[in-house]
Amino acid sequence: MTNLRNRLIFSGQFVFTLLVAAFLIVPALLSMLAGVTVNYFTGIRSGLTLQWVIQVWELYADTIARSFVIALAALAVTLVVGVPAAYALHVRGGRFARIVEEIITLPLAVPGLAIALALLLTYGGFSDFRRSWLFILAGHVVFTMPFMVRSVMAVFSAIDVKTLDEGAASLGASPWRRFRDVIVPNAKPGILAGSLMVVTLSLGEFNLTWMLHTPLTKTLPVGLADSYASMRLEVASAYTLVFFVMIIPLLVAMQIYADSCGRKTARR
Amino acid sequence: MTHKFFTRLCLVPLIAVIAAFFVLPMLRVIVVGGSGDMGLHAYAAIILEPRFRATLINTLVLASVTTALSLAIATIAGLFLQRHRFPGRALLVAMLTFPLAFPGVVVGFMIILLAGRQGLIGALSLPLAGEKWVFAYSMQGLLLGYLYFSIPRVILTIMAAIEKLDPSLEEAARALGAGPWAVHRDVILPALMPAFIASGAIAFATAMGAFGTAFTLATNINVLPMLIYTEFTLSANIAMAAALSVGLGLVAWAALALARAFSGGTVAAAG
């Protein structure tokens, strides 16, 4: 009796979980398929083609390139600015460090639209800056910075960074050498995890970018919104397919990396 | 160079970047919001003006429903996935967390493919129910889109919390004669409460500020981010757009701050 009931509960939960997974995965598969189908309305029997992907490349190659440039630039800035800051915030501690950490984390709570509006109202008048891709970069840096700083700080609180630092200091190393030769190598897992986050988030950022872009500084997600509004379904799907191809390796890397880190801490 | 001086130097670039591109601009928005034709009354208008109030309520309801449904769905699926080991489980978990990094626009497009004019649901309902169900561009479509990006975020936190549950508590309850429902109601769900609060706050704040999905599904769906966008671009009512942004930012921030006060951990939204 209980056995039957258990089996019923198991099957019910299994079907429910499958349905949720289908809800998330089926539309993504549909869009990948639509991107390589001759005519989505007639369906797969109209044949497979790469013509839509080629068309996307001709129409939007510049947006793809620009997205990569902005993502890598955001990574460079968050590395150079964020990693030393994470170290300083960790070793200093105290109220000031907490307030700084609180403020740099705010962009995670404040909607992107509001941040974009703020940047427009403040810097919209500087037309050279406004028109260049650096304007978008400023928004992406604000949005991704907390992910870098927090993921590096998480490593510092897991390892005993103060002892390492003091050990190196007692051997006579200067603060800069200690940072370069002791702190950064030890922070590597956090730096790597933060970097993957920054690049993934920047490549997909839309809320800020839609407000900050100009017709000459479109990024991939901006181009996607464009194609959803004005292109045939097959082209929009092919463009989405290109985006998936870019983003999925990053997601897989993040997953594998998180798994291996989890196992390491579990072993400890 | 002393160590103290070095760490101070390390903080300078961060403080400069955040001050220039976040703190000062946000202060400017607050000032601009109070300096339009209406002056400081622009802030009161968010609640007093019927059109804005309706949109605010709409957005709050949509975000709350999204949060409640995501929590329920993630708990059922999360409990199942953490309690059972079976072939294909890893794949199922990967599928459930896969849309984590999708931008809102892409989520909107996923909903169009599901429930739009050429959507899967319409194609299936036509032979089965005799009519084509198209609801991507309505409030239901928007809710579906919000669930699409909330479920993966919530499920990750909840699964992590379930993994950390102490199995001996459950065993003790069972040994004392509690049935499966009682164990869930009195032991498991209360133990998961911090995870519910943390991930619920993230889902709520993200849903409040989500713009891309509503933008793609467009047509006349009234949510706060769309209202800000139209006030700014179409009506050129910059002061009102700024006031509404401040209001929206405050609600999202308050949700996360409250959750942090209750659950103790660090909570953050993204997307």
Binary contact (B21, A16; C-beta < 8 A) = no
Contact by Cβ (8 Å): A231, A174: no
Q: What is the pLDDT at residue A15?
A: 94
Measured from the Cβ of residue A180, the count of other Cβ atoms closer than 10 Å reads 12
Q: What is the mean pLDDT of chain A?
A: 89
Binary contact (B242, A117; C-beta < 8 A) = yes
Please determine, for residue A268, whether its predicted confidence score (pLDDT) is greater than 80: no
> CA dist B68 to B64, B190, B197, Å?
6, 16, 11
> What are the chain A neighbours of B97 within 8 Å (beta carbons)?
255
Please determine, for residue A264, whether its predicted confidence score (pLDDT) is greater than 80: no
Residue A195, CB-side half-sphere exposure with 13 Å CA sphere: 15
Closest-CA residue in chain B for A9?
A: B80
DSSP 8-state code for residue A231: S
pLDDT in tens, A180-226: 888 899 899 899 999 999 999 999 999 999 999 999 999 999 999 99
Dihedral in degrees, nearest 10, Cα atoms B108, B112, B115, B121: -120
**Residue B104: closest CA among A222, A172, A253:** A222
Chosen from A1, A5, A11, A17 to mutate, greatest number of chain B CBs within 10 A: A17
Please determine, for residue A157, whether its predicted confidence score (pLDDT) is greater than 90: no
Structure tokens at B152: 């993966």
Q: What domains can you pick out in chain A, each with its CATH number?
A: 50-267 (1.10.3720.10)
Task: Give me the average pLDDT of each 10-residue run along chain B (271 residues).
Answer: 85 95 94 83 86 92 96 94 88 87 92 89 85 86 94 92 87 86 87 91 92 86 90 87 92 89 57 40
Reported as type and span, the H/E element at residue A35 is: none
Rounded to the nearest 10 degrees, the angle between the axes of helix A133-158 and helix A51-77 is 60
Binary contact (B253, A106; C-beta < 8 A) = yes
Distance of alpha carbon A224 from its chain centroid, rounded? Answer: 17
Top pLDDT among B217 and A268 is at B217
For A205, residues 6+ apart whose C-beta sits below 8 A from its C-beta are: A112, A139, A140, A143, A219, A221, B103
Binary contact (B211, A224; C-beta < 8 A) = no
Structure tokens at A46: 């109209």
Structure tokens at A189: 């897992």
Q: What is the pLDDT at residue B219?
A: 66
| Confidence grade of residue A140 (pLDDT, cut at 50, 70, 90) | very high
> CA dist A88 to A93, A158, A166, A187, Å?
8, 16, 14, 13
Alpha carbons A111 and B209: distance in angstroms, whole number = 5
| Confidence grade of residue A24 (pLDDT, cut at 50, 70, 90) | very high
Q: What percent of chain A has pLDDT over 70?
A: 96
| pTM strictly above 0.80 | yes
Name which of B13, B77, B120 is nearest A20 (Cβ-Cβ).
Answer: B77
Please determine, for residue A265, whether its predicted confidence score (pLDDT) is greater than 60: no
Alpha carbons B78 and B161: distance in angstroms, whole number = 10
DSSP 8-state code for residue A196: H
Name which of A92, A147, A204 is nearest B103 (Cβ-Cβ).
Answer: A204
Binary contact (A24, B98; C-beta < 8 A) = yes
Phi, psi of A48 (to 5 degrees): -100, 150
Binary contact (B103, A176; C-beta < 8 A) = no
Q: What is the pLDDT at residue B60?
A: 95
Binary contact (A80, B13; C-beta < 8 A) = yes
pLDDT in tens, A33-51: 988 888 887 777 888 889 9
Name which of A20, A121, A122 is nearest B151 (Cβ-Cβ).
Answer: A20
Q: What is the pLDDT at residue A262?
A: 59
For A110, residues 6+ apart whose C-beta sits below 8 A from its C-beta are: B26, B209, B249, B252, B253
> What are the chain B neighbours of A122 within 8 Å (beta carbons)?
24-25, 28
Structure tokens at A251: 């997601």
| Confidence grade of residue A1 (pLDDT, cut at 50, 70, 90) | low
Q: What domains can you pick out in chain B, each with its CATH number?
A: 16-263 (1.10.3720.10)
For B44, residues 6+ apart whose C-beta sits below 8 A from its C-beta are: none
Beta bridge partners of A48: A37
Q: Calculate how close chain B gets to A244, using CA atoms only, in Å.
A: 9
> What are the chain A neighbours of B247 within 8 Å (beta carbons)?
none
Using DSSP, state whether B39 is helix, strand or coil.
Answer: coil
Q: Calculate how close chain B gets to A120, using CA atoms only, in Å.
A: 8
Contact by Cβ (8 Å): A87, A183: yes
Closest-CA residue in chain B for A124?
A: B25
Q: Calculate how close chain A gets to B117, using CA atoms only, in Å.
A: 10
**Residue A241: closest CA among A13, A28, A8:** A28
Q: What is the pLDDT at residue A168?
A: 84
Chosen from B4, B8, B12, B17 to mutate, greatest number of chain A CBs within 10 A: B17
Name which of A175, A225, A236 is nearest B6 (Cβ-Cβ).
Answer: A175
Binary contact (A28, B98; C-beta < 8 A) = yes
User: Which ipTM score applies to this complex?
Assistant: 0.88
**Alpha helices in chain B, H assignment, sequence order:** 3-18, 24-33, 41-48, 50-83, 89-97, 104-115, 120-129, 139-164, 167-175, 180-183, 189-209, 212-217, 224-233, 238-263
Alpha carbons B30 and B34: distance in angstroms, whole number = 7
